[in-house]
Amino acid sequence: MTHNCALPVSASGIYHFDARGIAKRFRHAAIFGALAALQAGETMRFCNDHDPLPLLAQLDVHFGSRIRTGYVSRAAGEIVIDFLVTHN
């Protein structure tokens, strides 16, 4: 199954976030802000051109069990990760 980061997600409660279009110096702040804006049960579908392992570690420290992370796709040049907010 192929997941195109350019296509919007139509499912209710899933919000698309394509980090590739954000200047590198603002990416982490934008990602943290977007996740903080989500309510319990909502998901941010995150797209990037590389696997953001340092970012994932930072998110784990900051959000802990509030955010569940699951890879949707790990295709070369197109990483897709769902971040589900489990509680506020």
Look at strands 43-48 and 78-85 and give their pairing.
antiparallel
Query: What local confidence, expressed as pLDDT, does residue 13 receive?
Result: 86
Q: Are 77 and 49 in contact (CB under 8 A)?
A: yes
47, 16 contact by CB (below 8 A)? yes
> From the first residue on, what is the mean pLDDT of each consecutive set of 10 residues in the chain (88 residues)?
53 89 95 96 95 96 96 93 91
Q: What is the pLDDT of residue 62?
A: 96
Please give the CATH topology (third level) of the domain spanning 16-85. Answer: Translation Initiation Factor IF3 (3.30.110)
